[in-house]
Chain A
Amino acid sequence: MKYGYFPGCSLTSSAKEYDISLRKVIDKLGISFDEINDWSCCGATSAHVTNHKLSTALAMRNIMLAEQQGLDNIIAPCAACYNRLIISQNEIGKHTGIRKETEDLLSVKFKKDVKVFNILELFLKSGLNKIIENRKRELSELKAACYYGCLLVRPAAITKFDDAEEPESMEKIVEATGADTVDWNYKTECCGAAHSIARRDIVVDLSKKIIDDAITHGANVMVVACPMCHTNLDMRQRAMKRKYPDHKEFPVLYLTELIGLSLGMDEKELGIDLHYTNFKYADTLLNNSAKG
């Protein structure tokens, strides 16, 4: 199956490494996709918290383009984009008023049911066997805390693919890479999301709690699937260290980077060197064997 690809704005800038590693990994796994031509921002948090009509129209413009390009299934790797797209689709599906308004704004009639998948669904659907078969490295030294954040699994009535409070799909994927996963409390606790700039203090506090819980439960790496979460959990560690001097740097990887590592790619190839926190797989091995 050929997927349409909606990278979203973050993957072209602050989350470049998510895009880089995703493309490398799916290429290796034999999955292919076509980028949606001339896609635009989904409206993100800023549109839906201030102007509902605008947010629906911005999100649906991309669905319209996919439909025009003949793409029935699209991948939205950014959890926030994924959420905006499926919520907007759900609304125009349920409420004729909004559907009409949105169709008028875009001068279009929505016909087909374009299906939007998140990154976890992509790997689950394409088959975990593919990862297992292509594995070049055993990542068994890694103890991963799988962090879903808010927007991948909520609202469950619309995302319809995993439990909203106790999801497990990411663990399945991570375990297919050979890495271990830990059981912990903050899988779906919010990192502060879009408050990263205007209320950094809140983001620092919330993200710190999440990292601390992962460490308490024995994790040595966190795995995420959302650029906003990654920014807050990775980049904000510098501010975290200023506020909480005891804070120790803790690596945060995109799911696609972890899969890439297991497929034998190196840190630089996957863009892991673009993170703020250091992560070198070899170092992790050394540290662990020194400890053990």
Chain B
Amino acid sequence: MSRKADEIMAADTLKDAKKLQASFISTEPFQESSKEKEKEKDNNKLFHIHERNVSDEISERTFQDVSLCYQCGKCSAGCPVRYYMDIAPNKVVRFIQLGYYEEALKSETPWLCAGCLACSVRCPKEFDLAKFMDAVREIAIEKGVEIKQENILKFHKAFLDQIKNHGRSYEVGLVAEYKMKTLDLFQDVDSAPGMFLKGKLDLLPHNIKNRKEIKSIFKKTSGKK
């Protein structure tokens, strides 16, 4: 991000930030190089597919106004995974509030969020940040944004594939599929084989009877919104 963007992000209130943002745009229209222009076009393609903006989309999906958050930072201060993230959780909210959708949707932060809900119960504005993160991830997938934490997404996909096929999670299938997808054959050497030896994992999946219903739920919910 540019210095100007940093300044905007550092503004005290959302109103100030938006004012600053507007002033930068109106007083000094910047000279874009053609390469930057191309990039800008790409972004527009990516982020303006829908007429609605991402911020409204998130507010609607989470039943809470994104502008509720007043950036106190309490969520990030207590986030157990903050250390591993590229930007702090509250910053992701700020990016969305200010319309920097690309920065937010491409961030690793929503993917690393463990959904622990600590932020959601602590927020002085009762903003459910964990739920906000759910929506950011969902939209990032729908828009086909490149997910940098790709193994996390591959894990979720492998997990859901088991449910789609069997109605219940099937750990042997999950580990096999995850390893195929990530080609990470040596990770996790201590769990699956050990669980086998202890007789915890069944070789065969537990198939539920009404798998048809599960398949239909998956089919009907797989389309984009």
Instruction: Spell out A's residues near B (CB within 8 Å).
Output: 9-10, 12-14, 16, 38-41, 43-54, 57-58, 61, 94-95, 105-106, 150-151, 154-157, 164-165, 188-190, 192-195, 197-200, 202, 206, 231, 235, 238-239, 274, 276
Contact = CB atoms under 8 A, between A and B. Distances in A.
A46 B160 contact: yes
B115 A9 contact: no
Contacts of B187: 197, 200
B22 to A, nearest CB: 33
Nearest to B213: A61
A157 B115 CA distance: 16
Interface in B170-212: 171, 175, 178, 187-188, 190-191, 194-195, 198-202, 206, 208-210
Nearest to A190: B116
A41 B117 contact: no
Given A40-B168, A40-B214, A54-B221, A194 B114 contact: yes
25 contacts: A9-B206, A13-B171, A13-B201, A13-B202, A14-B201, A38-B167, A38-B209, A40-B163, A43-B163, A44-B159, A47-B160, A49-B133, A50-B137, A51-B222, A53-B221, A58-B214, A105-B217, A165-B121, A190-B114, A193-B116, A197-B187, A198-B155, A198-B178, A235-B190, A239-B190
Given A54-B221, A57-B221, A13 B135 contact: no
A52 B134 contact: yes
Contact of A57 (B178, B190, B217): B217
A61 B217 CA distance: 10
Q: What are the 6 closest A-B residue pairs judged by CB atoms, nearest first?
A: A190-B116, A9-B169, A46-B156, A154-B117, A46-B159, A150-B116
B21 interface: no
Per DSSP, chain A at the interface is helix
Contacts of A14: 171, 195, 200-201
Contacts, number: 164
Interface in B117-173: 117-118, 120-121, 128, 133-135, 137-138, 141, 149, 151-157, 159-160, 163, 167-169, 171
B80 A206 contact: yes
B24 interface: no
B59 to A, nearest CB: 13
Given A13-B171, A40-B208, A198-B149, 16 more contacts: A13-B195, A14-B200, A46-B155, A50-B137, A50-B138, A50-B156, A51-B222, A52-B135, A54-B222, A61-B214, A155-B117, A190-B118, A198-B178, A235-B190, A238-B190, A274-B198
Contacts of A54: 160, 217-218, 221-222
Interface in B69-128: 80-81, 84, 112, 114-118, 120-121, 128
Nearest to B210: A38
B221 to A, nearest CB: 4
Nearest to B142: A51
B220 interface: yes
Contacts of A154: 116-118, 120-121
B225 to A, nearest CB: 8
A106 B134 contact: no
Contact of B121 (A44, A46, A155, A199): A155
B193 to A, nearest CB: 11
B61 A49 contact: no
Nearest to B153: A50
Nearest to A150: B116
A243 to B, nearest CB: 12
A51 B153 CA distance: 12
